[in-house]
Amino acid sequence: MQKAWLRRDRRGGAEFQTAGNLLVVEDLKRVTNKDMGPKDIFEIASNKKRGHSVDISIRIGGEAGQGIQSISSIIAKTFVRQGFYVFINQDFASRIRGGHNFDQVRISKYPVNAAAGNVHILIALDKETTRQDIDCLSDNGFLLFDENEIDFTSDNPNHFSIPFTQIASKVGKSKIMANSVALGSAIALTDFELKPLLDCLQEQFESKGSETIENNQKSATAGYDFVRQNLKTKPALKKSSAKGGRKNMLLTGSQALALGAMASGLKLYSGYPMSPATAIMEFVSSQADRYNIIVEQAEDEIAAINMVIGANFAGARAMTATSGGGFCLMVEALSLAGMTETPVVIIVAQRPGPSTGLPTRTEQGDLNFVLHAGHGDFPRAVLAPGRPEQALYLMSKAFNLADKYQTPVIVLSDQHFNDAYFTVDELDLGNIVIDRGDILTEQDLPSPHEYRRYAPSESGISPRILPGNTRAVLYADSDEHSPEGHITESAAVRNQMVRKRMQKLEGLRREIGPPDIYPAGEAELVLLGWGSTHGVIKEAVDKLNQKGVPAVMVHYSELFPFNPQHFSAPALKKSKIIAVENNYTGQFADFFSKNTGLSVDRRILKYDGRPFTSHEIVHQIKDMI
Amino acid sequence: MVKLEDYHSDDSIAWCPGCGNFSILKALKAALVDIQQQPHELVIVSGIGQAPKTPHYLRCNCFNGLHGRTLPVATGIKLANHKLTVIAQGGDGDGYGEGGNHFLHAMRRNIDITYLVHNNQVYGLTKGQASPTSDPGFVTKTTPRGAHSPACNPLMLAVASDCSFVARGFAGEIDHLEDLIKAGIRHEGFALIDILQPCVSFNRVNTFKWYSERIYKIDADSAYDAEDRLNAFQKAQEWGDKIPVGVIYRKQRPTLEKQFPAIADQPLVGQQIDPGTFIELLEIFK
Question: What pLDDT digit, counting tens, does each position of A560-588 carry?
Answer: 999 988 887 776 778 999 999 999 999 99
Q: Which residues of chain B have pLDDT under 70?
A: none
Q: Which residues have C-beta within 8 Å of that of residue B271, sequence separation ≥ 6?
A: A267, A292
Cβ-Cβ contacts under 8 Å, A429 against chain B: 275-276, 278-279, 282
Helix/strand/coil percent split, chain B, to 5: 40, 15, 45
Most confident residue range from A98-112, A256-270, A560-574: A256-270
The pLDDT of residue A375: 97
Count CB pairs under 8 A between chains A and B.
201
Candidate from B61, B72, B263 with C-beta closest to A298: B72
pLDDT recorded at residue A574: 83
Assign A510 a pLDDT band (cuts: 50, 70, 90). Answer: very high
* A270-293: burial string, b at 16+ Cβ within 10 Å, e else: bbbebbbbbbbbebbeebbeebbb
Among candidates B11, B102, B269 on the partner chain, residue whose Cβ is nearest the Cβ of A486? B11
Cα-Cα-Cα-Cα dihedral sign, residues A513, A518, A524, A529? negative
Q: Report residue A97's pLDDT band, with 50, 70 and 90 as the boundaries.
A: confident
Contact check, Cβ <8 Å, A268/B285: no
Residue A321: the pLDDT is 98
Strands (E), B2-75: 42-46, 61-64
- Chain B residue numbers touching A308 (CB-CB < 8 A): 76
pLDDT > 70: percent of chain A: 89
Contact A293 B104 (CB under 8 A): no
Of the candidates A9, A8, A18, A28, the one whose C-alpha atom is nearest the C-alpha of residue A603 is A18
Distance in Å, alpha carbon of A545 to nearest chain B alpha carbon: 33
ipTM above 0.85, yes or no: yes
- In whole angstroms, give the CA distance from residue B221 to residue B227: 14
pLDDT at A520: 87
Q: How confident is the model at residue A20 (pLDDT cuts 50, 70, 90)?
A: very low
Residue-averaged pLDDT of chain A: 89
pLDDT of the residue at A3: 41
Pairwise CB contact (< 8 Å): B73 & A468:
no
Residues of chain B found within 8 Å of residue A287, distances taken between Cβ atoms: 281
The per-residue pLDDT for A9 is 37
Contacts of B66 in chain A (CB under 8 A): 306, 332-333, 336, 478
Tallying the residues shown for chain B, one arrives at: 286
For residue A470, give the chain B residue with the closest CA.
B40
pLDDT one-digit tens code per residue, A279-332:
999 999 999 999 999 999 999 999 999 999 999 999 999 999 999 999 999 999
Q: What pLDDT sits at residue A240?
A: 57
The beta-carbon neighbor of A467 closest among B84, B104, B278 is B84
Q: What is the predicted pLDDT for the residue at A140?
A: 82
Closest CA to A343 of A381, A389, A373, A375: A381
* Bridge partner residues of B7 (DSSP): none
Task: Judge whether A333 and A345 are in contact, CB under 8 Å.
Answer: no
Q: What residue ranges in B70-204 does DSSP mark as E strands? A: 85-91, 114-119, 165-170, 191-196
CB contact under 8 A, B260 and A468: no
| B256: closest chain A residue by CA | A296
- Interchain CB distance below 8 Å, A299 and B276: no
As a whole number, mean pLDDT of residues A416-441 equals 94
Task: Nearest chain B residue to A302 by CA: give it.
Answer: B69
A315:B72 CB<8 A: no
Angle between helices A210-230 and A195-204 (to 10 degrees): 150
What residue type is A406 in one-letter code? Q
Give the pLDDT score at A53.
64
Predicted TM-score (pTM) of the model is 0.93
How many Cα atoms are found within 13 Å in the side-chain-facing hemisphere of A257?
Answer: 37
Those residues whose C-beta lies under 8 Å from the C-beta of residue A129, and which sit 6 or more positions away, are A61, A62, A100, A102, A122, A123, A145
Residue A47 scores a pLDDT above 50: no
The band of A79, judged by pLDDT with boundaries at 50, 70 and 90, is very high
Contacts of B286 in chain A (CB under 8 A): 247-250
* A268-271 vs A318-322, strand pairing mode: parallel
Cβ-based neighbours of A21, under 8 Å, separated by 6 or more: A602, A603, A604, A605
In chain B, the N- to C-terminal Cα span, in Å, equals 58
Q: Is the pLDDT of residue A476 over 80?
A: yes
**Higher-scoring residue by pLDDT: A43, A220:** A220
Helical residues (DSSP H) of B81-153, grouped into ranges? 92, 100-109
pLDDT value of position A233: 66
Rg (C-alpha) for chain B, rounded Å, is 20
- Is the Cβ pair A299, B59 closer than 8 Å? no
| Among candidate residues B14, B50, B65, B22, the one with its CA nearest the CA of residue A488 | B14
Rounded-to-integer distance, Cα A525 and Cα A560, Å: 24
DSSP state of B69: -
Question: Is residue A18 over pLDDT 70?
Answer: no
Say whether pLDDT at A90 is over 90.
Answer: yes
> Inter-chain contact A314–B48, Cβ cutoff 8 Å?
no
Give the count of beta carbons closer than 10 Å to the beta carbon of residue B165: 27
Of all residues in chain A, the one with the smallest CA distance to B63 is: A476
Residue of B nearest to A431 (CA): B275
Q: Do B275 and A396 touch (CB under 8 A)?
A: yes
- In contact, A467 and B40? CB cutoff 8 Å: yes
Paired residues of A119 in beta bridges: A137
Q: Are A383 and A394 in contact (CB under 8 A)?
A: yes
Q: Is A413 exposed, middle or buried (0-12, 13-18, 19+ CB in 10 A)?
A: buried
- The whole-angstrom distance between A318's CA and the closest CA on chain B is 9
Reply yes or no on whether the pLDDT at A44 is more than 50. no
Set of chain B residues whose Cβ sits within 8 Å of the Cβ of A333: 66, 69
Q: For position A623, what pLDDT does the model report? A: 87
Q: Inter-chain contact A333–B262, Cβ cutoff 8 Å?
A: no
Q: In chain B, which residues have their Cβ closer than 8 Å to the Cβ of A259? A: 278, 281-282
Q: How many CB atoms lie within 10 A of CB A179?
A: 24
pLDDT tens-digit series, residues A326-366: 999 999 999 999 999 999 999 999 999 999 999 999 999 99
**Distance between CA atoms of A185 and A176, rounded to whole angstroms?**
16
Instruction: Indicate the residue of B40, B66, B102 with minimum beta-carbon distance to A468.
Output: B40
pLDDT beyond 60 at A236: no
